[in-house]
Amino acid sequence: MGIAGHLSSVNWFAVAAATAAAFLLGAVWYSKLLFGKTWMQEIGLTEESISKANMKRSFATTLVLQFLAATALAVFIGHNSTWLMGLHAGALIGLLWIATAYGVTYLFEQRSLRIFMINAGYYVVLYSIMGIILGVCS
């Protein structure tokens, strides 16, 4: 089956829900309620530098990228999935693909374990949640 065939079986409502969940998780994960303060400290951001950023562009681009990631995950897990299959696929992708890629990069960039745990942890949780949503709705 070609890409068109795979995309035709995607539940776009589920992709939209997974995208929204990803966006909301990022807002909470990187807020001062959870890891935002430490994250800013670890990468050298200040309130002033954030206030000068083009946040509309950042949020809009993030939304598009999260939508693409949710679409890819939906195609990957398929349309006959379950919440448990989605959870397993998402957790494995987050942990064994994304976190390991961050790990290699951060080793050579000599970044701290703290920033690795914050960023990689976000993606493990993110893909697990997206996988559950996509699995339930498949």
Per-residue pLDDT tens, the chain, 138 aa: give them.
Answer: 677 767 878 999 999 999 999 999 999 999 999 999 999 999 999 999 988 889 999 999 999 999 999 999 999 999 889 999 999 999 999 999 999 999 999 999 999 999 999 999 999 999 999 999 999 997
* Tokens coding 83: 């919440």
Q: How far is CA 136 from the centre of its chain?
A: 18
Distances (CA, A) of 111 to 9, 83, 106, 124: 41, 35, 5, 19
Q: What is the pTM of this model?
A: 0.91
